[in-house]
Chains A and B, each alone.
Chain A
């Protein structure tokens, strides 16, 4: 009785599976969607896996959108133009980035990594959801300069996109919801957690740090981790790190909050892959990590909103670091480079 029941159950299930797939085409197993496992050394994500459950076809759709220059008004710029995988999806060698018609933006393009763990985006925290974030660069006249209705019309006129959206989201024209959800399938998949530092932190593969890297790790924990906190290496706060005395060109967080207390404060960026993401700061003013550390050592400028961490009682502004300490810190920062991430073919533009 029991074996028979089990057998009929198995047959029934097999029948269901066959009916679902169609008898003729044997499905090729999809490679797993990147970023579907949550790193053990990370906190709980903001954009949970079940918020937009990873799906191979939806992820591939999002990837196509990310690399498609037709998303810009004149077809000249894609998301990937200014967010290049080989530099952790920052813009290599660009203080500021070029939008359509070679227009120059106003801020340095940040790395796109571990976005699943962020509740506010950009240097000023304006966009507050991973799904709606892309609407900003898509419509910014200095970036992609497109309108959402026109963009959707272009997608709906493309037979390949319409076929693929129907496959994932069912029949009907492509709408903004489907477009934004598909794009988020890709952006949420950009998890960088395979650096040598991560392997050490998780005790994997017998990875170790050199003496200099280890000294740098201790220094970062002591001197930098009040802002570059947790294994995400940012506390996601907005701080004035003493770049200028006034902030007429870019008020930073105050652009969003309109509060005087927020003038000159910018989002603390992650240190992950920082060796790849030059130039640095919201305006890309520093070309090297050496310049960045020199700034913290002796370049910090006073202003009313300068962060308290850079105003030690009775001492000079900034974080005093000897040349040897700076070198050790940079040695450690290089262990945060995630080669597997920047070379993951699944995240690359597909032929």
Chain B
């Protein structure tokens, strides 16, 4: 009796296993490929050069940038049929000083034709308060506020002659630490970028396409809200950070081109 029931059990398990294998082999939906997202920052049309280059805002303020770091997370790809694939656990910290951080290698993307890319500029509210983290979200990356839990989503630091400065100094500091997830000062922004007309992103098992993305840092200071460094040179969350977030949500990011590879 006992032996008999074991045999049935074994058979059932084997059947289950076989069903699983068959499904895997036959379903094209289970085929996956890769795509690289290659980010680059410009300031207006000029490439971002840390510490050396002086830029001028459309309003006429001069500035240099010494640090630029930004979280890109919750990446989603939209197929031409409108279905959406969310890349699991996608959290990346771009650092303009470390080129390797700007190449996001996305793996295990279902094969298909995709027409748009969506991502969060920053970190979703849940992960802001999820405790100890590793990788991009490690608080050791110096992008975590300890006294008011949450990540700095975009960190721009630099100098400007227009910013308030110490007596005798020619320049003052720029500290734009954009973060916060509590209303009314939530600065989490989500950006959707359709791929250029006629150029879908084709994910295939035998291709490694690259999407080249540009982030125009100047857009932090221009757009819906004109930022003048004489009046706003230092923000660490709060209402002034919302002004900057609304600016960059309105056009900081663009798809430059796609390499099919």
Contacts and interface: CB of A to CB of B under 8 A. Distances in A.
A binds B: yes
Interface string B123-150: 0000011111110001110101011111
Contacts of A175: 134, 138, 140
A184 B139 CA distance: 15
A258 B239 contact: yes
Interface residues of B, number: 22
B185 interface: yes
Interface stretch (A134-142, A208-216, A329-337): A134-142
A177 B147 contact: no
B146 to A, nearest CB: 4
B238 A129 contact: no
A135 B144 contact: yes
A171 interface: no
B244 to A, nearest CB: 16
A180 interface: yes
Nearest to B138: A176
A179 B134 CA distance: 11
A55 to B, nearest CB: 15
A149 B140 contact: yes
B146 A181 contact: no
Contact of B132 (A2, A184, A257): A184
A140 B147 contact: yes
A135 B150 CA distance: 12
A131 B129 CA distance: 9
Interface in A208-233: none
Contact of B147 (A2, A126, A131, A184): A126
Interface in B213-244: 238-239
Nearest to B238: A258
B58 to A, nearest CB: 29
Instruction: Name the residue in A2, A177, A180, A184 with the highest tally of chain B Cβ atoms < 10 Å from its Cβ.
Output: A177
Contact of A126 (B130, B138, B139, B149): B149
Contacts of B142: 148
Nearest to A182: B132
Contacts of A148: 139-140, 142
A181 B139 CA distance: 13
A138 to B, nearest CB: 8
A127 B149 contact: yes
A152 interface: yes
Nearest to B180: A258
B154 to A, nearest CB: 19
Nearest to A149: B140
A59 B148 CA distance: 26
Interface string A122-158: 0000111111100110111000000011001000000
Nearest to A5: B2
A71 to B, nearest CB: 14
A184 B133 CA distance: 13
B87 to A, nearest CB: 22
A256 interface: yes
Contact of A132 (B2, B144, B185, B239): B144
A126 B131 contact: no
A126 B134 contact: no
Contacts of B138: 175-177
A132 B134 contact: no
B97 interface: no
Interface string B41-75: 00000000000000000000000000000000000
A148 B143 CA distance: 12
B139 A135 contact: yes
Contacts of B150: 128
B69 to A, nearest CB: 15
A149 B138 CA distance: 11
A125 to B, nearest CB: 9
B91 to A, nearest CB: 14
B146 A177 contact: no
Nearest to B149: A128
B95 to A, nearest CB: 15
Interface of A: 1-2, 51, 126-132, 135-136, 138-140, 148-149, 152, 175-177, 179-181, 184, 256-258
Interface of B: 2, 128-134, 138-140, 142, 144, 146-150, 182, 185, 238-239
Given A1-B2, A176-B132, A177-B133, 12 more contacts: A127-B147, A128-B129, A131-B131, A135-B144, A139-B146, A148-B139, A152-B140, A175-B134, A179-B132, A256-B148, A257-B182, A258-B239
19 contacts: A51-B131, A126-B148, A126-B149, A127-B148, A127-B149, A129-B149, A131-B131, A132-B131, A132-B139, A132-B146, A135-B139, A136-B146, A148-B142, A175-B138, A176-B138, A176-B140, A177-B134, A180-B132, A184-B131
